[in-house]
Amino acid sequence: MSIPVMSGIGFNQPGNPAGLGNMPNPYPITPNERDTENKKIYQWICELSCSETRENALLELSRKRESVESLAPMLWHSFGTISALLQEIVSVYYAIDPPTLSAMQSNRVCNALALLQCVASHPDTRQSFLQAHIPLFLYPFLNTSSSQRSFEYLRLTSLGVIGALVKTDENDVINFLLTTEIVPLCLNIMETGSELSKTVATFILQKILVDNAGLEYICATYERFCNVAIVLEKMVVNLSKEPSARLLKHVVRCYLRLSDNHRAKEALRQCLPDQLKDTTFAPVLREGSDQTTKRWLAQLVKNLEESNPIPNAVSANQRLPTGL
């Protein structure tokens, strides 16, 4: 199964072993070969509109999404293509509950989602993608809880589409997502998903928090802050038992960003997990080649040590609830 993986958060690109993507191509494509390739792309796009030829077209186009720079505009502006992709997504909703999604169905929908991620990533189609509210079609997949591989692939691929949006650090993207249920959906995956799904979901939450509107949204009410803090605390506890340097990096960045908010900082002084204050993760930070997490953690501790009382701050005796 071809699973689209987001670049920029430490994952290798499909079909591109680490380091090989930057090597010069010893066999440059000739104009005639390029024309032939373009004709194939257009043919496959046309075949998306026909149910009999769609499955193979989805597979072929998903393989080309990294190598054809103009694929996103071609998909978006071709007649009926986006409707065909959405039809693929909607057609398996019935298999979510009860969970009867087959591996073949999951593979086909993941290929459709890979093409939507391509559209979400491209600067010429991203805004139109948001204005059409297409991310909402993915939320039923993010809301699944089945541990079957077919569902895990579906969740991960759907997260990849949202991750492609937030990776651009555009305010419009965050403002749109804040009008949806993306935060509780990500929190649920951060708590129950596989390590890779947790990593992508935490990356999405991190990107939301880094945006000023996102930080303000999370810290606007004590309940929202609690929901985030409780899940992050559970993740820290789990990471102390099953370390993951990549996941720890995103968790620490979320905590660090929360400490930029006055009220959240006051609350974190009371509820920051002990594992982040002692030497629990010293082996992970020492072995990892990336020292960013170590710096972020040191800055987090420093932020919480700084005295900065403000009116209406969360009182010192106001503890986080034990559950939601």
**Mean pLDDT by groups of 10 residues along the chain of 324 residues:** 41 36 49 76 95 96 92 96 97 96 97 97 97 98 95 97 96 97 98 96 98 97 96 97 95 98 95 94 79 93 76 39 34
d(CA 277, CA 197): 26
d(CA 144, CA 99): 9
- Residue 33: the pLDDT is 65
Give span(s): CATH 1.25.10.10, the chain.
35-168, 209-324
Classify residue 15 by burial, with Cβ atoms within 10 Å: 0-12, 13-18, 19+.
Answer: exposed
Query: Using only C-alpha atoms, what is the Rg of the chain?
Result: 22
- Residue 31: the pLDDT is 63
d(CA 64, CA 112): 13
As its CATH architecture, domain 209-324 has Alpha Horseshoe (1.25)
- Residue 291: the pLDDT is 87
d(CA 160, CA 158): 5
Contact between 64 and 15 under an 8 Å Cβ cutoff? The reply is no
- Residue 146: the pLDDT is 93
Query: In the structure encoding, which two tokens stand for residue 289, read together?
Result: 């080649």
d(CA 191, CA 128): 32
Match domain 35-168 to its CATH number in 1.10.579.10, 1.25.10.10, 1.10.10.10, 3.40.50.450. 1.25.10.10
- Residue 143: the pLDDT is 96
Q: What is the pTM of this model?
A: 0.84
- Residue 179: the pLDDT is 97
- Residue 101: the pLDDT is 96
Vertex 231: Cα angle to 228 and 236 (nearest 5): 120
9: DSSP letter: S
- Residue 308: the pLDDT is 55
